[in-house]
Chains A and B, each alone.
Chain A
Amino acid sequence: MTELNIIICVKQIPDPEAPLSDVSIDAENLEVVVDAPQVISPFDENALEAAIQLKEELDGKVTVLSMGKKLSDSVLRKALAAGADELILLEDNGFEKLDSHSTATVLAAAIKKIGSFDLVLAGRQAGDWDSGQVGLILGEMLGLPCISLAREITVEDGSVIVKKTVPEGYERVKAKLPALITVSNEVGELRYISRTRMLKMMRGGDIPAWTAEEIGVSDDAIEKMNIASLTTPPDMTRDCQFLEGSPDQQAAALVDVFVSLR
C-alpha cells in the first residue's frame, strides 16, 4: 500500500486556556458560558499533526470532519492551512450539545458517506467536556479496531503500529488497517500556522457543509446531552507563605504550620 487515506475528526470549542475569570455558569439554562474565542480542541490538533506527518511521509489524503450547529470557517480552515486536503463541515440545527453516542452516530454517518479510508484519527478527548468517549464509540460503530491514547503512529504493510500511553510508560499495539486511533498530546503539538498562510487559506474556495439529511441521520437517532444540574466549583484560593530565617527557624516554622493544619 502506498497512499494513505486519513479521516480526522475535530471539535470546535471555546479556548480551554481561557482563565477561570472568563468562565461562568448559567445554572438556570444549564450552560457553561465561556467568554473566549473558538479554537480547535487541543488533542484534535495533536491528531491533525499526526495525520499530516503520516501524509508527508507516505503520501495520501487527509480529510477533516467537524460537527456542530454553527461552525466557524475561520477556525477550522486552520486544518487546511496545516496541510489537510479537505475540510467537510457537518452543520445542522440539530447538531447542538449532542451526547457522545449521538456525536459518534453523526460522524459515523459522514464517514460512511465519504466511503473509503485507511485510518480515522481523533483526539483522545475534547478540551471542553473531557469525556473521551466519541472516538471509541465511533470505532465501534464503524466496526474498526480501535487504539486509544496514541503517542506515536507508524504505518507499514497494511497495518498500523501505535505506541499507546499507559501509566507505566507505553505499549506497542498493532492493528490491521483500516483502524481508528485516538491521539494523545505526546505525538506533538500542531505545527505553527503563520498568519500569512492562514490568510491565504481564508481566501480559498467554499467549504462543503453537510446537513443531517444529507448524511442520512434522522432526528430520533440523536440525543442531546442531558445535564442534570450545573454548579460553580467551590472557590479554591491558594495561599503561599514564605518561611524566613535560618534553616532551623524555617523548620520550626514549618512544624508550626503543620500543627496548625491538624
Chain B
Amino acid sequence: MSAHRIMFWQIEYTWLFYLLSAIAVLLFLIGAGSHIWVWKKNSKSMSLKGVGHALNKMCIDIITGRRLIRGDMAAGLMHFLIFWGFFLLFIGTCVLVAHEHLFEFLEGARYLWFSVLMEIGGISLLVGIIWGLVRRYLQRVPRLERRAEDAILPLWFVLMVLSGFFLEGARLAANSPQWADWSFVGNWIAGLIPAAAAERLYPSFWWVHALLCLGFISVVCYSKMFHILSAPASIFFSSASPVLPPSIEDETGRLDVAEAVFYDGCMRCGRCVAACPSSGAGEAYAPRDFVQWARKQMWQTQFPLNDIRLWNRGDYEGTNESMWYCTTCRACLEVCPVYGAAFEAVAKERRQAVEKGTLVPTILNQTLEKLFRYDNPWESSKKQRGAWAEGLDIADLTKRGAVTDLCYFVGCTTSFDDRARSIAHSFTKILQLTGVNFGILGKKEPCCGDIARRVGEFGLFEEQKEKCKTLFDQYGITEIATSSPHCYHTLANDYPDSSFRARHYTMVLKELLKNKKLSFEKPLNVTVTYHDPCYLGRHNRIFNEPRDVIRAIPGLRLVEMEHSRENSLCCGGGGGRMWQDLKGERKMSEVRLEEAEATGAQILITACPMCLIMMEDARKAAGTREGFRVMDLNELLLEALENK
C-alpha cells in the first residue's frame, strides 16, 4: 500500500467542523472586508503607478524578509522561521483540502515529501515563535512592547503547533504505518503515547487542534496578526501610490490610501522607536505609538462600529504635545518593514492643529507669525538679511545689471544666526577663490517655506513658495545653490514644475572638485568625522559628495561614527524643533556629539546651518575634549585652501 493519510479518520460530527469552518472564514472575510472598506474610503487620491515594480518589491520583501534581516539580523531570522513555517503549514492545509475535495493526489512519494515539509514547517514555526517569546520576555529587547496580544498570539501559535504534532503522533501510534519515519517529529511523539490510548486520544487532539486553528483564522483581522495581509499591502501601496503632498484645497484630515494601509500594516515592531532620535533622547514620544494612535483615530472616525481591534483599543492616547516632538528626520521610514513614514502621520496631525490654532505651542506660534511678517523665523525685520555680505564684493542679483551663473540662496538661518553666518562667509570665499561667477538675493531673499511646510502650515508654505518663484522668475534665476539642506530639499522637492535647478553647496563643491578647481597646497593633518544632515542624506541620498570633498583634503583622515549615512542620528533641529522647547532626558544633539567624540576625531564636520548651531550649542553645554571643534564643511575647506 502506498503512503497516504485517511482524512477525518475517527472523526464524528464532521458537519460541525464544516459549520465552524464556515463561521471562521466568515469572520475572517468580514474583518478583511472592513479593512478594505476603510482603505477604500481613503483612496480618493489613489493613482497606481509602477504596479509591476511594486508587486515585485512586495514579493521579494515577503519571500526573503530582506528588510527585516538587514535592519536586525536576529529579529529577521526569527521572522523568517515563523513566516516560512506558517506559510508551509498554510499551503499544506490548502493542499489537504484540495486533495480531499478536488482530486486525490497525495499518495506515495508525493505524500512522503508533503509529510516532511509539514514537519519542517511545524518545527520552524515553533522555533521562531519561541525565539520571539524569548526576545520579548527574557531578553526584553527594548523596542518590543509587552501587551496582552503580544503574549496571547504567540502562545496560541505554540498550542496550534503542539496540538498538531500530538495529533499526528496519536495517529501514527495507533496505525503505525511503515512510512511513519518520514514524519520524524510526529513519530517521536508517537513513541511517547501508548498505542492503546492513542486511538482514544486522537479525536480529542484533533478537535483541539481544529478549534485552535479556526479560532486563529477568526481573530487574524482583529489583531496585529492582520499584518499577514496588511504588511504586504502597505509595501505595495507605499511604492505604487505614494503619499501625496497635501494641497491647500484638501480638507484637513484626509488620508492617502498608502497611509491608511500603513496604519493597519504597522504591527508595533518598534524598529522606528529604536531608530527615532527623539525616543532615543528619552523624550515623551515614540513614532510607533503615534502611528497606533493615528490608526485608532482612523477607525474611530471612519468606521461605524468603532475600532476593529480586539486588543490595544484604549491605549496609545495621543497628547497635544506628542505631535511636536518629531524632527521629520526620516530615520523611522528607513527601518520600517512596511515602509511607513511616521512623520507623515505627524504632519497630518500638525496640519489639523495649525488650522485649529489652539494646539500650536507658543514659540512656534510666534515663529510662524514672524515668518509671515518678516520672511524669516529669526528676526522681526527684513533689513539685516543681506548684512553678512557687506563689504565682501558679492553681486546682488536684485540690483540692475547683475547677471551671474549661480544664485547663492543663503537661507534664513545662515543669514541671521551669528554662528551660521560663517557658512556664508566661507562658502562665498571658496566660490570667489575658485572663480565662480555668483550672486545673492540680498535683502529680498525670502524664506523658502521649509519650516512652514514641516510644521503643517501649508497656506504659509504656498505663499512663501510663490514669493520665491516670482523672485526667481523676475531675475531669471535658473541655477541655485543653498547653504541649508532644508532649503535644498524644499526647493528641489516641494516646488513642482519649477524653472530652476536647486543644489546643495556640497554638490557644487563636488563639482568644483571634479573640475579640478579646488587645489590644496599643504596637507592638513587632522582626523575628522562627518555628520550626515537628515535632509541631505536620508531625504536626498547625498552621502558621497560631502565625503568626497572632505577626503580630497590631503593629510586629513575621515572616520565614521557609529551611526552614519542612512542611519545617521538627527541633531534635533529639523522639523520645526528649533522653535520648540520640548525636553527629554537628554538633548539629541548631545547624544550625537558623544558619538562624534567617541570616534577620536578632533573635528566634527556638518553641512547644515541647523546642525552647526545645534552641535555647537551641545559642545558648549556638555563640554568636550579640549580642542574638539564643530565646523561646517565650508569652514574646513577654506582652512585647507588657505593653509599655505
Q: List 8 additional contacts besides A22-B381, A22-B383, A191-B360; criterion CB under 8 Å.
A: A15-B380, A17-B370, A22-B380, A191-B365, A192-B369, A194-B354, A194-B355, A194-B459
Q: Which 4 A-B pairs have the closest CB atoms?
A: A195-B459, A191-B357, A196-B459, A192-B360
- In-complex Cβ contact of A192 among B368, B381, B462 (8 A): B368
Q: Using Cβ atoms and an 8 Å threshold, which residues of chain B touch A15?
A: 373, 380
* CB-based contact A36/B357 at 8 Å: no
Cα of A191 to Cα of B355 in the assembled complex, Å: 10
Cα of A187 to Cα of B24 in the assembled complex, Å: 57
* Chain B residue nearest to A16 in the complex (CB): B380
Minimum CB–CB distance from A128 to chain B (whole Å) comes to 15
Interface residues of A in 143-189 (CB under 8 A from B): 189
Tier of interface size on chain A: 20 to 34
* CB-based contact A195/B379 at 8 Å: no
* CB-based contact A196/B380 at 8 Å: no
**Given A37-B373, A82-B357, A189-B365, are A195 and B381 also a contact pair (CB < 8 Å)?**
no
Minimum CB–CB distance from A42 to chain B (whole Å) comes to 10
Q: Using Cβ atoms and an 8 Å threshold, which residues of chain B touch A196?
A: 248, 355, 458-459
Q: Using Cβ atoms and an 8 Å threshold, which residues of chain A touch B362?
A: 189
Q: Using Cβ atoms and an 8 Å threshold, which residues of chain B touch A58?
A: none
Mask: chain A, 190-208; 1 = CB below 8 Å from B; 0 = not: 0111111111000000000
Report if B372 contacts A (CB, 8 A): yes
Mask: chain A, 30-61; 1 = CB below 8 Å from B; 0 = not: 00000011010000000000000000000000
Report if B524 contacts A (CB, 8 A): no
Q: Using Cβ atoms and an 8 Å threshold, which residues of chain B touch A189?
A: 362, 365-366
Q: Using Cβ atoms and an 8 Å threshold, which residues of chain B touch A199?
A: 459
Question: Taking beta carbons and an 8 Å cutoff, which residues of A are in contact with B?
Answer: 15, 17-19, 21-22, 36-37, 39, 82, 189, 191-199
* Chain A residue nearest to B373 in the complex (CB): A37
Cα of A15 to Cα of B379 in the assembled complex, Å: 12
Report if B457 contacts A (CB, 8 A): yes
* CB-based contact B381/A194 at 8 Å: no
Cα of A36 to Cα of B381 in the assembled complex, Å: 7
Minimum CB–CB distance from B219 to chain A (whole Å) comes to 43
Minimum CB–CB distance from B364 to chain A (whole Å) comes to 8
Interface residues of A, dominant DSSP: loop
* CB-based contact A193/B248 at 8 Å: no
Cα of A80 to Cα of B358 in the assembled complex, Å: 15
Report if B463 contacts A (CB, 8 A): yes
- In-complex Cβ contact of A19 among B366, B381, B460 (8 A): B381
A-B CB contact pairs (8 Å), 30 listed:
A17-B370, A17-B380, A18-B380, A19-B379, A19-B380, A19-B381, A21-B384, A22-B383, A36-B380, A37-B373, A189-B365, A189-B366, A191-B357, A191-B358, A191-B365, A192-B364, A192-B365, A193-B357, A194-B355, A194-B457, A195-B372, A195-B457, A195-B459, A195-B462, A195-B463, A196-B458, A196-B459, A197-B355, A198-B459, A199-B459
Minimum CB–CB distance from B275 to chain A (whole Å) comes to 30
Cα of A196 to Cα of B373 in the assembled complex, Å: 15
* CB-based contact B383/A21 at 8 Å: yes
Cα of A191 to Cα of B358 in the assembled complex, Å: 5
Minimum CB–CB distance from B495 to chain A (whole Å) comes to 17
Cα of A21 to Cα of B379 in the assembled complex, Å: 12
Cα of A193 to Cα of B355 in the assembled complex, Å: 7
Cα of A82 to Cα of B355 in the assembled complex, Å: 11
Cα of A199 to Cα of B372 in the assembled complex, Å: 13
* Chain A residue nearest to B351 in the complex (CB): A194
Q: Using Cβ atoms and an 8 Å threshold, which residues of chain A touch B380?
A: 15, 17-19, 22, 36
Mask: chain B, 505-517; 1 = CB below 8 Å from A; 0 = not: 0000000000000
* CB-based contact A194/B357 at 8 Å: yes
* CB-based contact A21/B381 at 8 Å: yes
Cα of A198 to Cα of B248 in the assembled complex, Å: 13
Minimum CB–CB distance from A193 to chain B (whole Å) comes to 6
* Chain A residue nearest to B458 in the complex (CB): A196
Minimum CB–CB distance from A20 to chain B (whole Å) comes to 10
Q: Using Cβ atoms and an 8 Å threshold, which residues of chain A touch B357?
A: 82, 191-194, 197
Cα of A93 to Cα of B261 in the assembled complex, Å: 62
* CB-based contact B460/A194 at 8 Å: yes
Pick the most buried of B362, B366, B373, B457: most chain A CB atoms within 10 A of its CB. Answer: B373
* CB-based contact B381/A18 at 8 Å: yes
Minimum CB–CB distance from B325 to chain A (whole Å) comes to 18
Cα of A197 to Cα of B462 in the assembled complex, Å: 13
Minimum CB–CB distance from A100 to chain B (whole Å) comes to 27
Minimum CB–CB distance from A19 to chain B (whole Å) comes to 5
Minimum CB–CB distance from A116 to chain B (whole Å) comes to 28
* CB-based contact B370/A192 at 8 Å: no
Cα of A17 to Cα of B378 in the assembled complex, Å: 11
Cα of A198 to Cα of B462 in the assembled complex, Å: 14
Cα of A22 to Cα of B370 in the assembled complex, Å: 15
Mask: chain B, 359-396; 1 = CB below 8 Å from A; 0 = not: 01010111011101100000111011000000000000
Cα of A15 to Cα of B366 in the assembled complex, Å: 12
Minimum CB–CB distance from A45 to chain B (whole Å) comes to 10
* Chain A residue nearest to B372 in the complex (CB): A195
Interface residues of B in 319-344 (CB under 8 A from A): none
Q: Using Cβ atoms and an 8 Å threshold, which residues of chain B touch A191?
A: 356-358, 360, 365
Q: Using Cβ atoms and an 8 Å threshold, which residues of chain A touch B364?
A: 192
Q: Using Cβ atoms and an 8 Å threshold, which residues of chain A touch B354?
A: 192, 194
Cα of A189 to Cα of B358 in the assembled complex, Å: 9
Q: Using Cβ atoms and an 8 Å threshold, which residues of chain A touch B370?
A: 17
* Chain B residue nearest to A81 in the complex (CB): B357
Cα of A15 to Cα of B380 in the assembled complex, Å: 8
Minimum CB–CB distance from B249 to chain A (whole Å) comes to 9
Minimum CB–CB distance from B576 to chain A (whole Å) comes to 13
Cα of A210 to Cα of B498 in the assembled complex, Å: 47
Cα of A194 to Cα of B379 in the assembled complex, Å: 20
Minimum CB–CB distance from A237 to chain B (whole Å) comes to 16
Cα of A82 to Cα of B357 in the assembled complex, Å: 8
Q: Using Cβ atoms and an 8 Å threshold, which residues of chain A touch B366?
A: 189
Cα of A193 to Cα of B459 in the assembled complex, Å: 11
Q: Using Cβ atoms and an 8 Å threshold, which residues of chain B touch A19?
A: 379-381
* Chain A residue nearest to B461 in the complex (CB): A195
* Chain B residue nearest to A82 in the complex (CB): B357
Q: Using Cβ atoms and an 8 Å threshold, which residues of chain B touch A194?
A: 354-355, 357, 457, 459-460
Q: Using Cβ atoms and an 8 Å threshold, which residues of chain A touch B462?
A: 195
Q: Using Cβ atoms and an 8 Å threshold, which residues of chain B touch A192?
A: 354, 357-358, 360, 364-365, 368-369
Cα of A39 to Cα of B369 in the assembled complex, Å: 10
Q: Using Cβ atoms and an 8 Å threshold, which residues of chain B touch A22?
A: 380-381, 383
Cα of A223 to Cα of B350 in the assembled complex, Å: 48
Cα of A197 to Cα of B381 in the assembled complex, Å: 24
Cα of A192 to Cα of B357 in the assembled complex, Å: 4
Q: Using Cβ atoms and an 8 Å threshold, which residues of chain A touch B365?
A: 189, 191-192
- In-complex Cβ contact of A195 among B356, B384, B460 (8 A): B460
Pick the most buried of A21, A194, A197: most chain B CB atoms within 10 A of its CB. Answer: A194
